[in-house]
Amino acid sequence: MNKFKDKMHRWRTLSLFKETAPYPQDNVLFRFADARQIYVECGDPTGYTFATEHLGGWKHWLALRNSSRIEEEICKWEEELEVKLRSRAVQNMIKLSDGDKGYQANKFLVDGGWIKKGAGRPTNAAKRKAIKQHIEEYDELSSSVDLKH
């Protein structure tokens, strides 16, 4: 039997995680914190690597994304990975600041080039979220990078 599917051959979603699995929890494979760590370590903002190496594949990932309870957790994972990638890109840009070698690739990461952007003017909620994210990124970078020359 496939450990990622239930008895009716449906993708397991809530029953994969200790925090959401109904009792008994014999077949739980992850805790949210462990899955988050694995997802962030994969370093793939598309989720494809995590899906193919740690789940039943892309369709299983989509099933998780469609679960409102798990999707909320996945959004946290994606946010952390995005900040991690941006942090790494900014550190690379600082190292490469004397020349233009690698600038465009790092700019792609800093700008979140893999993220689909909506058309039109951003909403006030989106603006507040962006401001909060920039503050968090600044705090993270300032604690991990010496900005003095």
List, for residues 4-47, the tens digit of each pLDDT value: 998 899 999 999 999 998 877 778 999 999 999 999 999 999 99
- Does any domain span residue 123? no
Cis bond upstream, residue 45 (ω within 30): no
- Does any domain span residue 20? yes
Q: What per-residue confidence (pLDDT) applies to 86?
A: 85
Domain range for residue 40?
14-116
Q: What per-residue confidence (pLDDT) applies to 138?
A: 72
- Does any domain span residue 41? yes
**CA–CA distances in Å: residue 26 to residues 3, 15, 30, 31:** 12, 10, 11, 13
- Does any domain span residue 127? no
- Does any domain span residue 37? yes
Sorting pLDDT into bands at 50, 70 and 90, what band is 54?
very high
Please determine, for residue 120, whether its predicted confidence score (pLDDT) is greater than 60.
Answer: yes
Q: Are 17 and 23 contacting, i.e. CB atoms less than 8 angstroms apart?
A: no
- Does any domain span residue 85? yes
Output the six-digit token pair for 70. Answer: 């798990």
- Does any domain span residue 138? no
- DSSP annotation of 126: H
Q: Considering its fold, how many domains does the chain have in total?
A: 1
C-alpha gyration radius of the chain: 19
Residue 109 to residue 89: CA distance in whole angstroms: 6
Give me the mean pLDDT over the 78-104 stretch: 78
Mean pLDDT of the chain: 83
- DSSP annotation of 22: P
Q: What per-residue confidence (pLDDT) applies to 62?
A: 94
- Does any domain span residue 143? no
Q: Are 38 and 47 contacting, i.e. CB atoms less than 8 angstroms apart?
A: no
User: Considering only 69-73, 110-114, 126-130, 140-144, which range has the smallest mean pLDDT?
Assistant: 140-144
Share of residues in the chain with pLDDT > 70 (%):
85
